[in-house]
Structure 1
């Protein structure tokens, strides 16, 4: 009798967790999709105004960063958003670092950062907001508290799914970056949230981000795709080091106004001379795809300038108080890197490589090296391409990139922490994973 009672209670709790995950997935999709739609609308409006008056750029980032600072001070408990670290602390340290106010905090700060020119994306803002939805759902029912990690992962996986219409990438992101739990209940919760989010997005918000045609790839191009993977790993480390340096530098500034004014001026100056650095950069990627149709050596210098400045612009944005991460910048950098490699190889060696293929492979490879999550990157870019024709070369380049990046610098921006040691030295330690 007691055994039957235990089984009934266990099954009830399983059903409760799965239902909570489904609700989390729905609300996460609504948060992610509305943030995506609103951001895209206002980013396009601001860019249109900048085409008529370029000098507006010298006040736009300042307005955005100042507004974020004021919102934090007056509405959001005067606590800075720490991005993915907040989610990792919640999972790994069993800490209550995702209160309900983190949902609007990251939502609005991510929106304001991107539409006012901050050179990053809304992905991390979305991930933390949707993870906070999962944490909130675990607090609403007492016996769900022990399943907080499952619901937090369900929320963040649903957020990534909604942003990119990529359910497999959403599931793998939770597994590769946050927790590697293999329990059936954990898997069921994440899968349920991902499916709920996917259905909401697919039927009510779906819009293909990029439009391009991938038809085939040749096996003789594989060595050059491996070369692209190596270069992507190097660029990933460059991006990571830039972000860590700027966060440390701006964090050392005691005066908030000096940080905001100095950061916004640097962002404005870079965007004034290189407009493709504005916002998340998806317009820049579309421009790269257009150039990929008929690439010439003349495009190399502008592409190289963008390739070198994008990590700096992203890092300054985050260091100066913007809300975001390295998802969109990595895709942006990878697209430019892929086109550069293809054009150079075709021009000097007459290889006849397909530019669009290298653009896509570069996107996946740089993202893989930046977040140390190759399988997330593989399925995310395949979802963006809306086909799996390049699956094998994307897998190879992404794994090579992650290996190269980890060999040079074994931390991503998510797993790196700075601790003051005796003698004033700085030690780096990775975040643990259960």
Structure 2
């Protein structure tokens, strides 16, 4: 072996070691941030939601208070710069000069937390994704040797953050691949596998329980036509969610006085929460409640109208939350819409067509189908929902509905809230 080859080999070994070390750091920091944000949000959301349940006046107080704090933080602490969600990551990965500034970590952490605990009808998932992506971006800028691996290290942060939230390392890697990177490289595999392994190790040590404790026994081939129906409806609902978000953001952007957005958004959000408390925050409390009473649910006209009202209003209040300055995205809303849609479809076909399908199966498949169609990432949706329940019994039905819903949505409207831009729509 000549001297030049030896030097080159040693350089590659040093670079590999540094990549391993930085991937471990990104994985730990991103997972730690994700777990802290998740635990803090769950704790305070439960406290504030219980207070609002006891005294409905708080449905009118919390949203304006939370959105106002976010507004003043953005004005006076975060340099008057708005959080754009996952589009910020795309802007960074598609440009050599643009980077995710380090203040995005506290900005998304604080604003995401405040949005959800004070009733904003979204979730912390996108806040976690952007904050953890920023960890990867900052790490990438610390060493010249990593400058060419910007996308891979940002994806490592994203994958670790998703792993921490949903206890699913496969979903973490697939989301980073399907939504952010869209290509597999050797460095992507090394950095992301290490990051999610560290993240999952932290989740395991903390003994994180599945978000939804459900008992799935089986599924039946005779239900396949109804699965297809659910998938098509999920695709349509996801397009409605996407169009709502884009419409309300466009309309609110025309309001010249920034604080008027907060006031208008708070009024719409407060009235909606008063009518349908299930819309409060990330909505996971609403999903847990219907999971608990699935077998007792008897379809009546009032219950059907309640479900339809929730399905119509949820995309609107999510959109208003985001358009008026709240921090979040469509992850939690998609899961929420899917669960209620699945239960409504199962209840209708059981009541009027004697289908005898299992409602809880339809709720879980609905969650995966709407999420898949909303972000155009079916494989992420499959493993994420299976991770949420820690059960893979419905893997093949979920695979089918996730693919059908995605392509149904793409046929109707080719964009997601992440990929839309006015220039592409023309």
Structures share fold, TM-score greater than 0.5: yes
- Any stretches of 5+ residues in structure 1 without a counterpart? 420-426, 430-434
Q: Which moved more, 1:145-154 or 1:107-116?
A: 145-154
**Counterpart in 2 of 1:428?**
425
Which one of 405, 408, 420 corresponds to residue 404 of structure 1?
Answer: 408
1:388 aligns with 2:392: yes
Is the Cα–Cα contact under 8 Å of residues 210 and 389 in structure 2 kept in the other structure?
no
- State the partner residue of 1:81: 83
**Matches of 1:71 and 1:382 in 2, distance apart?**
37
**Which residue pairs with 1:227 in the alignment?**
229
Shift in Å at residue 39 of structure 1?
Answer: 0.3
Question: Could you say if the C-alpha distance between residues 95 and 408 of structure 1 is closer, same or farther in structure 2, counting changes exceeding 3 Å?
Answer: farther
Partner Cα distance (2:82, 2:352) in 1:
49
Q: TM-score if structure 2 supplies the norm length?
A: 0.97
1:171 corresponds in structure 2 to 173
Q: CA deviation at 1:170?
A: 0.3
The one-character-per-residue Cα deviations of 1:324-373 (angstroms, maximum 9, x if unpaired) are 00000000000000000000000011011000000000000000000000
Say whether residues 1:216 and 2:218 are aligned partners: yes
Q: CA deviation at 1:181?
A: 2.6
Take 1:411 and 1:332, find their aligned partners in 2: how far apart are those partners? Answer: 21
Contact 1:17 1:147 (C-alpha < 8 Å) held by counterparts: no
Distance 1:291 1:306 in 2: 17
Alignment of 1:171-250 (within 5 A): 171-204=173-206, 206-250=208-252
User: How far apart are 1:95 and its partner, in Å?
Assistant: 4.0
TM-score w.r.t. length of structure 1: 0.96
What do residues 243-283 of structure 1 show as CA deviations (whole Å, max 9, x unaligned)? 00011111111101111100111100100111000000000
Q: Deviations over 1:72-120 (max 9, x none)?
A: 1111111000000000111122342411100000000000000010000
Q: Note if 1:15 corresponds to 2:17.
A: yes
Distance in 1, matches of 2:42 and 2:24, equals: 27
Instruction: From 327, 331, 337, give the equivalent of 2:341.
Output: 337
CA distance in 1, matches of 2:185, 2:160: 19
Q: 1:131 maps to which residue?
A: 133
Q: Which residue of 1 aligns with 2:375?
A: 371
**What RMSD, in angstroms, separates the aligned Cα atoms of the two structures?**
1.0
Partner of 1:28: 30
Decide whether the 8 Å contact of 2:276 with 2:310 is kept in 1: yes
- The aligned length equals 422
Q: Look up the match of 2:322.
A: 318
Aligned to 2:310: 306
Q: Distance in 2 between matches of 1:329 and 1:177?
A: 18
Question: Cα distance, 1:401 vs. partner?
Answer: 0.2
> Which contiguous aligned blocks of 4+ residues in structure 1 show a shift greater than 6 angstroms?
none
Distance in 1 between residues matched to 2:334 and 2:363, nearest whole Å = 12
- Provide Cα deviations, 1:109-163, integer angstroms capped at 9, x if missing partner: 0000000100000000000000000001111222222212111000001000000
Report the Cα distance in structure 2 between the residues aligned to 1:278 and 1:212, rounded to whole angstroms: 22
- Which range moves more in the overlay, 337-346 or 13-22? 13-22
